[in-house]
Structure 1
Amino acid sequence: MSGSYSGSASGGGFGSRGFDGGFGGGQRLSDLADQLHAMFEQRVGPRVARGDVRQAIITLLAEKPMHGYQIIAEIDTRSSGAWKPSAGSVYPTLQLLADEGLISAEVADGRKTYSLTESGRAEADASADRAAPWEASGLGGARNLGALPKAGMALAQAAAQVRTTGTPEQVDQAVKVLDEARRKLYTILAQD
């Protein structure tokens, strides 16, 4: 399955089988849930470049000391949910920056709080005229690119739950709700 939408605004629903493609309600809902999940599981929007985690950390620590989780949460917030680096990318980068002498760590209340050293502050100052990675990548704009995939995943999960535990009548109702939601989304796009 490619995960791309192949229905139209006027009918056919999701995928080549659509809502009216000869399946029982449960099978149609199953296909829809699978397609929604595949669509919203994909990465959407601009991608961050190699080295952006490093630059983001330096940019944030130039403002104030933070611990690793705060850094992750702040990048997520500033990119409007479009970029949330994993701990597996942030913590090794913090270690690398410490090894390079650009940051130092202080342990308080069982947490390491990182701050820039003099060398780190000099590097932050040298790149102060560059846009922050979430801005340069187009991730921090007014459009919340992260909210739509999250909402779509929640919708797919709800559809899967109805598929799994719902009665045939509930499945039929869910198909109608999802079909109406699809039409309303196209109505939004049709507006000026």
Structure 2
Amino acid sequence: MFFAYGGRGCGSRHGSWRRGPFEVRWEMGHRGGGGRRRRMFDGEELRLVLLKLIADQPRHGYDLIRDIEERTGGAYAPSAGVIYPTLTMLDDMGLIEAVSEGSRKEFAATQAGRAHLAEREDEVAALFERLDALGEERARVDRAPIRRATANLFSALQHRLSRGDVTADMLHDAAAIIDEAAQKIERL
């Protein structure tokens, strides 16, 4: 497994998936200004994802956020500040329409919206593959035990090193133990 804390993406001008020990993130590639994070989807991609979800069944904004978050295992959830303006844009474009009024307005896909999805079927499938891959990665690598163990290590170090009887030999012994653990992890 490749771990990276930052730096440049590799290979593509569009970016690359990078894994840190506690997260999976999308980073900009060489031409995008390496190391900077970008959004999971650009505006057009998010419009297609939302349109597809709405075409599957009428939904309101919160439903859409929750569905995407569930698909990614919590790794990605678009904000309301992105979802609602995008829904307004899809409505203005005639691709969706409000089907209920009230505090939570549900939207359904129009005929024009379904035709738009049919024209871009391959692109839509690729976008959902991206969402599903992120969810599968998140499910495959449950980081909770690692976070707990790392916190336990830091707590033990802080507790032991805060005593007044710490010697240089103790510091070297603690460093050796941590180095040995790191080597064992690398060999897993």
Letter in 1 for 2:187: T
Distance 1:150 1:85 in 2: 22
When the two chains are superposed, the root-mean-square deviation of aligned CA atoms in Å is 4.6
Distance 1:92 1:157, change over 3 A: farther
In structure 1, the partner of 2:128 is 134
Identity %: 33
Question: How many residues are treated as equivalent by the alignment?
Answer: 150
Judge conservation of contact 1:41–1:153 (CA < 8 Å) in 2.
no
In structure 1, the partner of 2:92 is 99
1:186 corresponds to 2:178: no
Judge conservation of contact 2:55–2:109 (CA < 8 Å) in 1.
yes
- Mapping 1:24-173, distance limit 5 Å: 40=22, 43-44=25-26, 48-50=40-42, 51-105=44-98, 106-108=100-102, 110-130=103-123, 131-135=125-129, 138-141=130-133, 144-146=136-138, 148=141, 151=144, 154-155=147-148, 158=151, 162=155, 167-168=159-160
Quote the offset at 1:96 in angstroms: 0.6
Distance 1:161 1:91 in 2: 42
Quote the offset at 1:102 in angstroms: 1.3
Distance 1:121 1:176 in 2: 61
Which protein has greater RCO, CA pairs closer than 8 Å, 6+ apart?
A: 1
- Match of 2:136, SS? coil
Letter in 1 for 2:186: Y
Structure 2 residues without counterparts, runs of 5 or longer: 7-19, 29-37, 164-170
Give the TM-score, by structure 2 length.
0.55
Distance 1:149 1:124, change over 3 A: same
Judge conservation of contact 1:73–1:84 (CA < 8 Å) in 2.
yes
Quote the offset at 1:86 in angstroms: 2.2
Quote the offset at 1:127 in angstroms: 2.3
Distance 1:45 1:3, change over 3 A: closer
Distance 1:70 1:143, change over 3 A: closer
Distance 1:140 1:176, change over 3 A: farther
Distance 1:128 1:58 in 2: 12
Quote the offset at 1:57 in angstroms: 0.4
Judge conservation of contact 2:75–2:135 (CA < 8 Å) in 1.
no
Judge conservation of contact 1:104–1:117 (CA < 8 Å) in 2.
yes
Structure 1 residues without counterparts, runs of 5 or longer: 5-37
Measured against aligned partners, the alpha-carbon deviations of 1:73-105 in whole angstroms (never above 9, x if no partner) come to: 222333454433222221111111111121122
Measured against aligned partners, the alpha-carbon deviations of 1:113-167 in whole angstroms (never above 9, x if no partner) come to: 12112221221232234424131xx44238733465964994599469848xx64
Letter in 2 for 1:107: E
